[in-house]
A and B are shown apart, each in its own frame.
Chain A
Amino acid sequence: MLKEPVERVLSGGRRAVYRHPLVVRMWHWLNALCLLVLLLSGLQIFNAHPALYWGQVSVFDKPWLAIGSGDGPAFPSWITLPPWQDLAGGRHWHFFFAWIFVVSGGAYVLYALVSRRVHRVLLLSRGELRHLGGSLADHVRLRFPRGEQARRYNPLQKLSYLILLFGLLPLMILSGLTMSPGLDARFHFLTLLFGGRQSARTVHFFTAWAIVLFFVVHMLAVLAAGPLTEMRAIVTGWFVIGGRKEER
């Protein structure tokens, strides 16, 4: 395992840093596909009963939250998979991609921990933790680290990736599995952890939107930091820094 990133000198004083190993890039794109399909098919499944509850059971005449007017689907067809009402189909899409998502995600987390990539690339140092406020202020003003500083993930970026990887994604998987009547027979502590099956369903729904929020911020950050540079990095692995005019 390389301790220091491989580097290439380009023309015009620019340098290319090998930032994303192949495993990371593959997982990133597979994950993007899985999360897209899981969201669209999840909304299809949600449309079958567009109400949310807390606890074990549904209180039909007093849902905690009901979405839609009752006429027509809660989420429109263009945002569901399949694009027409089809709970059986939505479930097949959802569970097929859930399997890919869980297996590839589990393998990736194992790799990231064993290779110590989490420690090298994602964990925040004490100094970074102290300057989190400053980093946030820079982000709000759309001032992104340039040049040498752009070699590493900045503290907010690290924090958001950590929250996604060790917070939102596991929460999504666990709340999803908790809804399974089969697994409930063996792992009932999960149901107790979430406070009931209907609570788990509600958590599953809102965590999905938290991941959508992550995606929106992720896209804004890519746009603001230079979509070309960022896209090249996550496709080829090479992140270009420096030069007269930083590439946008």
Chain B
Amino acid sequence: MMEPPSSRRRWLQRALAAAGSLALSACDRLANSERVTSALGAEETWTRHVQRLLLGRDALAPEFSEKDISKEFRSNGTTDPDTDAYNRLAQGGFADWRLQVGGLVEHPLRLSLRDLQSMPSRTQITRHDCVEGWSYIAKWKGARLSALLARAGLAPRARYIVFYCADTLEITLDGTGQYYESIDLVDAMHPQTILAYAMNDRPLPIPYGAPLRLRLERQLGYKMAKYIMRIDAVETFKDISRGSGGFWEDRGYAWYAGI
């Protein structure tokens, strides 16, 4: 049998609803506040310092065997840059593609895919972890970034390596929607940090970053720039794009993506 709600119950319902909407709008304001956002950002610094302390320079990400390679892979972000210039390169099997290496280096380089393939390489079967939460295991082969940087000769002032990509992930008026990423020298010199041109024993497919992508095995997927066109050594990335060191970093994600 239904009884009409007593005035007390009605009062309670209203009070609860009021408290609820108050809490929600408080949450809204907190999460929207510039000061709260920047204070929360401190967690990235703590995580970076503690992980660097625990991991050191050379701790290797786990490597797997052939039988562990996933049946299914997934590509995120851009799956095909689809610009005229990129399509022309892709049609020619990237024979005309050249990687520019510049910035704070003694010998700027211009390398073809073949040049990269003849450099010291590393093959590794590793797990790719996306910031969204999913993972797959694949086999990657590529040129060691440390060898490439040694050949270019880093200037003493160089602190970060910046990767400029062929894809535009967001249409913007000022061009800040173009994908780019940056890593520091600890990660750049890590033995597993490679510029991959092959995935699962085949040329790197377009959805996974053809012709060249970064593998940075101790961090999340968004750090591993795809469709790399140019690599610069820099002292700071504050003056690049929106200043946070990467496409996703410019949109609130952590620069250090070790967690």
Contacts and interface: CB of A to CB of B under 8 A. Distances in A.
Interface of A: 45-46, 48-49, 51, 53, 56-61, 78, 81-83, 86-89, 91-93, 95-96, 98-99, 179-186, 188, 191, 197-198, 201
Nearest to B68: A56
Contacts, number: 129
A48 B252 contact: no
16 contacts: A60-B74, A78-B24, A89-B252, A92-B41, A92-B254, A95-B259, A96-B40, A179-B129, A179-B259, A181-B219, A182-B218, A183-B259, A184-B127, A185-B60, A185-B61, A186-B55
B130 A96 contact: no
Given A95-B259, A96-B43, A181 B28 contact: no
A89 B259 contact: no
B37 A83 contact: no
Nearest to B74: A60
A64 to B, nearest CB: 12
B24 A197 contact: no
Interface string B39-68: 111111011000100110001111010001
Interface string B207-251: 000000000011110000000000000000000000000001001
Nearest to B249: A88
B31 interface: yes
Interface of B: 24, 27-28, 31-32, 37, 39-44, 46-47, 51, 54-55, 59-62, 64, 68, 70-72, 74, 127, 129-137, 217-220, 248, 251-254, 258-259
Contacts of A92: 37, 40-41, 43-44, 252, 254
Given A48-B132, A96-B43, 12 more contacts: A49-B130, A56-B135, A56-B137, A86-B252, A88-B253, A92-B44, A93-B40, A180-B258, A181-B258, A185-B59, A185-B217, A186-B59
Given A49-B134, A82-B31, A181-B61, A91 B51 contact: no
Contacts of B252: 86, 88-89, 92
A51 B24 CA distance: 27
| Interface hub of A51, A56, A61, A188 (most chain B Cβ within 10 A) | A56
Nearest to A201: B133
A26 B134 CA distance: 37
